[in-house]
């Protein structure tokens, strides 16, 4: 994108300096020359039709919201080929940028109450944020919280399993199980994301992660695996906080808090001086307060690289998840179908790494099927050996030692099984 410093938009807004970059837009500091006030100017950098529509939706969504804990939107439009949003200029840091140990227990809870006040207001207007994460929560110099980036928000009346199926957006670490399963996402999905953030603040890490950047494994964990209780990770976490976090992270939305107001009341009781209320002097976790703080740009790059904007790639992730779920239920015909579809999608998208990881999962499923007495047919074995053979050079080249060891073991086992058919 060309340098925009000093440029005028709509004969009114002067762009002065770049202050931040995002996946689809850049943010500049500027001045509204008519009202003589500082502003933030968000300029769309991705020109695809889908992104333009999302950008417009962000402006429309945020313009409807007038709350002290939500960044204000003043104007939006197009000028000289640029799509822009004029917003309140914020001076502060995102929760993702706050250093380890800086937050006290009391301050952290206060921040979450303000975040929930913003979400409660938006939910009452019929808007679900859909991308609640540390990088979208700004802490101003006076401690006031401002929620940003409603670009993925959607009216609850517009949300259905049809519009969400196959659509994996936002940041994987913070998304609710229903988002991955193509089910209706509502206000309780935002509360799940708040639960992930609380877990991260009070333990130093997100509950569902992969040391090998296997995003499908992270999705599978969101859908199937219970989180390790926060007090198991950090004994300093108060029992009341652990109970709240685990309720927020329930897989079934019906078992979570049903609205933000319920949670606000509980958190307020914890800092109101009642029995067992966390003292302000208690420090937040000694490890990193936010995982995203370590490398927000790296997180963005990983998501752009692995998810992109294509339906083909999303289909690959969705079908791989379906294969993992079917394998767990021992529905091997469905698992084979899902993995085969995913492999085709990843090959079409040219994503060698995800193809290799999925090939390993497929081969492991075939081997598992055999060990349980349901011997696979010759065609399945040959297919598993072929795709695993394609995958191993990629795994070896990426120095994925754990996957390489597992892949070579499975390949040897499948070759031995195949001997029976010769």
In angstroms, the CA 210 to CA 298 distance is 15
For residue 21, what are the CA distances in angstroms to 17, 44, 62, 259? 12, 10, 19, 32
Q: Is 66 part of any domain?
A: yes
In angstroms, the CA 131 to CA 163 distance is 16
pLDDT score recorded for residue 154: 56
- Pair 99, 244 in one domain: yes
- Pair 168, 40 in one domain: no
Domain boundary among 34, 54, 87: 87
pLDDT score recorded for residue 169: 41
- Pair 315, 391 in one domain: yes
For residue 51, what are the CA distances in angstroms to 1, 48, 172? 16, 5, 19
- How many domains, in total, are found in the chain? 3
- Residue-wise pLDDT for 235-255, tens only, equals 888 999 999 999 999 999 999
What is the reported pTM? 0.72
Domain boundary among 249, 266, 295: 295
CATH code for the domain of 185: 1.10.510.10
Q: Which positions ≥6 away from 144 have C-beta within 8 Å?
A: 68, 69, 114
Judging by beta carbons within 10 Å of its beta carbon (0-12, 13-18, 19+), is residue 17 exposed, middle or buried? Answer: exposed
CATH code for the domain of 387: 1.25.40.10
Structural tokens at position 268: 């307020």
Q: Which of 131, 149, 190, 214 is catalytic?
A: 131
- Pair 265, 321 in one domain: no
Domain boundary among 44, 63, 87: 87
**What does the DSSP assignment read for 131-147?**
---GGGEEEETTS-EEE
Instruction: Enumerate residue ranges in the chain where pLDDT < 70.
Output: 1-3, 23, 100, 151-170, 213, 273-311, 374-376, 418-422
- Pair 182, 271 in one domain: yes
Q: Is 301 part of any domain?
A: no
- Pair 275, 136 in one domain: yes
pLDDT score recorded for residue 348: 86
Parent domain of 199: 92-295
Do 41 and 57 contact (CB within 8 A), yes or no? no
Active site residue 131: yes
pLDDT score recorded for residue 239: 92
For residue 132, what are the CA distances in angstroms to 85, 128, 147, 173? 20, 10, 9, 10
HEC states along 303-361?
HHHHHCCCHHHHHHHHHHHHHHHHHHCCCHHHHHHHHHHHHHHHHHHCCHHHHHHHHHH
Q: Is 362 part of any domain?
A: yes
- Pair 61, 96 in one domain: no
pLDDT score recorded for residue 247: 97
- Residue-wise pLDDT for 298-341, tens only, equals 433 433 444 443 457 777 887 888 888 888 888 998 999 999 99
Strand pairing report for 25-32 and 127-128: unpaired
- Pair 193, 210 in one domain: yes
Q: Is 3 part of any domain?
A: no
């Amino acid at each position: 994108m060309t340098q925009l410093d000093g440029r005028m938009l709509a004969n009114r807004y002067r762009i002065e300096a770049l202050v931040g970059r995002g996946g689809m837009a850049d943010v500049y500091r500027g001045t509204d020359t008519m009202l003589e006030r500082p502003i933030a100017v968000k300029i769309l950098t991705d020109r695809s039709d889908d992104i333009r529509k999302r950008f417009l939706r962000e402006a429309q969504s945020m313009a409807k919201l007038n709350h002290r804990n939500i960044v204000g939107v003043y104007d939006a439009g197009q000028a000289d080929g640029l799509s822009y949003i004029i917003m309140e200029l914020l001076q502060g840091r995102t929760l993702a940028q706050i250093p380890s140990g800086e937050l006290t227990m009391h301050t952290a809870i206060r921040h979450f109450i303000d975040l929930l006040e913003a979400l409660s207001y938006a939910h009452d207007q019929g808007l679900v944020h859909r991308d609640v994460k540390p990088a979208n929560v700004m802490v101003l110099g006076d401690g006031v919280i401002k929620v940003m980036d409603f670009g993925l928000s959607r009216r609850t009346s517009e949300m259905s399993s049809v519009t969400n199926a196959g659509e994996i957006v936002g940041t994987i670490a913070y998304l609710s199980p229903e988002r991955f399963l193509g089910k209706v996402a509502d206000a309780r999905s935002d509360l799940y994301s708040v639960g992930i953030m609380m877990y991260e603040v009070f333990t130093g890490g997100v509950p569902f992660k992969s040391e090998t950047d296997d995003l499908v494994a992270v999705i599978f964990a969101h859908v199937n695996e219970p989180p390790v209780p926060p007090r198991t990770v950090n004994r300093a976490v108060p029992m009341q906080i652990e109970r709240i976090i685990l309720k927020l992270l329930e897989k079934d939305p019906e078992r979570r808090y049903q609205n933000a107001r319920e949670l606000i009341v509980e958190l307020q009781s914890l800092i109101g001086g009642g029995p067992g209320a966390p003292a302000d002097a208690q420090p937040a976790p000694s490890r990193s307060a936010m995982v995203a703080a370590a490398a927000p740009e790296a997180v963005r790059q990983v998501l752009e690289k692995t998810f992109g904007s294509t339906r083909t790639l999303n289909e690959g992730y969705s079908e791989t998840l379906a294969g993992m779920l079917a394998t767990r239920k021992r529905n091997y015909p469905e698992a084979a179908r899902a993995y085969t579809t995913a492999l085709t999608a990843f090959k079409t998208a040219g994503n060698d790494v995800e193809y290799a990881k999925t090939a390993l999962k497929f081969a492991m499923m075939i081997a598992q099927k055999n060990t349980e007495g349901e011997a696979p047919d010759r065609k399945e074995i040959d297919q598993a050996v072929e795709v695993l053979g394609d995958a191993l050079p990629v795994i070896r080249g990426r120095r994925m030692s754990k996957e390489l060891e597992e892949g070579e073991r499975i390949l040897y086992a499948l070759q031995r099984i195949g001997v029976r058919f010769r």
